[in-house]
Amino acid sequence: MTGERAEDWNAVVLGGGDPGDAFAAAHQVDVKPLIEVGGKPMGLWVLQALRDSGRVGRVAYVGPLTPAMDDLVDVRVTDRGTLLANLEAGVAALRGPGSAAPKRVMVVTADIPMLSGDQVRSVLDTAPEAGLVYPIVEKSACEAAYPGVKRTYGRLKDGTFTGGNLFLLDPALIHQFLPRLRSVLAARKQPIKLAGIVGPGILLKLVVGQLRLSELEARVSRILGVQARALITPHAAVGTDIDKEGDLALAERELGGPQA
């Protein structure tokens, strides 16, 4: 996916959420992406980063919007209640009746306000050719950018990483991999069933930190039926979502808002 032309991508921004989310309720908003940081809703920061990148054409936003956010959105999509349903609805909304062949799609959550346009452009311009691309960030990069940040990491033979809060896909393949992805997610709390899907050998190597990234890519590609690749990105903001008050204080410091 290197060498893309300007605006050769579309985007789906996932800005929905549980109306009963205590974090959102504490800030007197309906969903987390509407929590303000640096004087603006988190979702607005993400939308501005997409526009500032110069690489994104049309944007579909799933979830509630403020008027300022609405000005940056091409297609508004009602929250369907689950991540995969929202993903599918967002991609379908971008396609639209009578539209040209769909551009490739960046899917991004609306709770990573420290994301910048330069970082979006970097991810898109360095992504490998694949049906699915998932950016990951090394632990050392996260800790260097945001000392003391607490993230969930996975240890591979190649290093220790946290997952990004965005991924890239070929929309023509979505109906090929979504049913398989639903099956994996449905089995995530059933260890025996999950082991049958992923493979016990792969799970064991993952647990003990001996799984190579290339092996993980190959297994995920086989499970989903499309070529899947990881992209190691140096941009810690890609893997730093805002889930709690400590995260919000970090974002306020980085974005120049009032500190908690």
pLDDT of residue 127: 96
User: Is the per-residue pLDDT at 259 higher than 50?
Assistant: no
Distance (Å, whole) CA 42 – CA 189: 31
For residue range 161-191, list pLDDT tens digits in order: 999 999 999 999 999 999 999 888 888 778 7
Helix (H) / strand (E) containing 213: helix 213-224
pLDDT of residue 260: 38
pTM, two decimals, is: 0.91
Distance (Å, whole) CA 127 – CA 230: 9
44, amino acid identity: L
C-alpha distances (whole Å) from 25 to each of 65, 68, 245 are 16, 21, 12
* Residues forming beta bridges with residue 162, ordered by sequence position: 137
Rounded to an integer, the average pLDDT of 28-49 is: 96
For residue range 210-256, list pLDDT tens digits in order: 999 999 999 999 999 999 999 999 999 999 999 999 999 999 999 98
Please report, rounded to a whole number, the percentage of residues in the chain having pLDDT higher than 70.
Answer: 93
User: Is the per-residue pLDDT at 1 higher than 70?
Assistant: no
pLDDT of residue 95: 84
Distance (Å, whole) CA 182 – CA 92: 17
Distance (Å, whole) CA 59 – CA 57: 7
In CATH, what is the architecture of 9-255?
Alpha-Beta Complex (3.90)
Angle at 65 between CA 63 and CA 40, to 5 degrees: 120
User: Is the per-residue pLDDT at 202 higher than 50?
Assistant: yes
Distance (Å, whole) CA 243 – CA 217: 28
Distance (Å, whole) CA 130 – CA 227: 5
| Domain ranges within the chain, ordered by starting residue | 9-255
pLDDT of residue 248: 96
Name the 3-class secondary structure at 59: strand
